[in-house]
Amino acid sequence: MTTRVKTAKGRKVGSTKWLQRQLNDPYVKKAKAEGYRSRAAYKLLELDEKFRFLRGSKAVVDLGIAPGGWSQVVRKKCPQAAVVGIDFLEVTPLDGVTILHMDFTDEDADARLKEALGGEADLVLSDMAANTVGHPQTDHLRTMGLVELGLEFAKDVLKPGGAYVAKVLAGGTDHQLLAELKKHFNTVKHAKPPASRKDSSEWYVVAQGFKGRTDGPGVDIEADAEPAEQRPTP
């Protein structure tokens, strides 16, 4: 049965539509029933079901942790893992997770994260997205800038064999960034998990098999095994 929401005085039509969508979203209902802080938890669960990057992870960094759904998944799947998260938004504490309340783009964010991590990571996750301004090209560039920052951080902290998983927008990973990912990881693939709304422009890039920190030239690798029509155009 569909729940309908009446437009209340002072509430915009867009807000009413968003509220109605939330009330009727099966992933929202499932998240509440299973104790996850957001429906985004299922995006990570579905991505991991396909790519298995959480398996054996003992140290994980969660970039853009708010509200904490992804870190909840990590703790559930890898209860012994050390998890460090960062976000400029306030995040309610999570058992077993170190949370830094600061902007990842701040100059000292890298150093603070590395200090909290205390060593190398098996996995760097990024569900970060820049605040939208309503101009698709600008929004895409700003979010891809965060993906690039996340990649630079991942290259500094990942163990050989580690993985980097990040949200991108429709249009996919641009050629320069894709080449950089291929250079440093054995496999690079795009995916849109079922929990990601069909009308959403978000996709995820999953880079696995980190080759280690080296200045040597990387080997170019086929970016994706998915049919071309099922992934964003680079």
**Which parts are annotated binding residues for S-adenosyl-L-methionine?**
68, 70, 87, 103, 127
Structure tokens of 50?
């396909």
CA distance 80 to 76: 9
Which DSSP letter does residue 34 get? H
Q: Which residue in the list 155, 167, 182, 192 is annotated as catalytic?
A: 167
The beta strand positions in the chain, using DSSP E, are 59-63, 82-87, 97-101, 121-126, 158-169, 185-191, 202-210
Closest CA to 191 of 223, 150, 162, 143: 223
- Please say if 167 is a catalytic residue: yes
Whether the Cβ atoms of residue 109 and residue 97 lie closer than 8 Å to each other: no
**Which parts are annotated binding residues?**
68, 70, 87, 103, 127
Sheet holding 121-126, edge to edge: 97-101, 82-87, 59-63, 121-126, 158-169, 202-210, 185-191
Whether the Cβ atoms of residue 207 and residue 195 lie closer than 8 Å to each other: no
Structure tokens of 148?
């690039």
What 99-104 contacts at long range (C-beta under 8 Å, 24+ apart), as own/partner pairs, is: 99/65, 104/63, 104/64, 104/128, 104/146, 104/149, 104/150
Terminus-to-terminus CA distance in the chain, angstroms? 40
Query: Which residues are known to be catalytic?
Result: 167
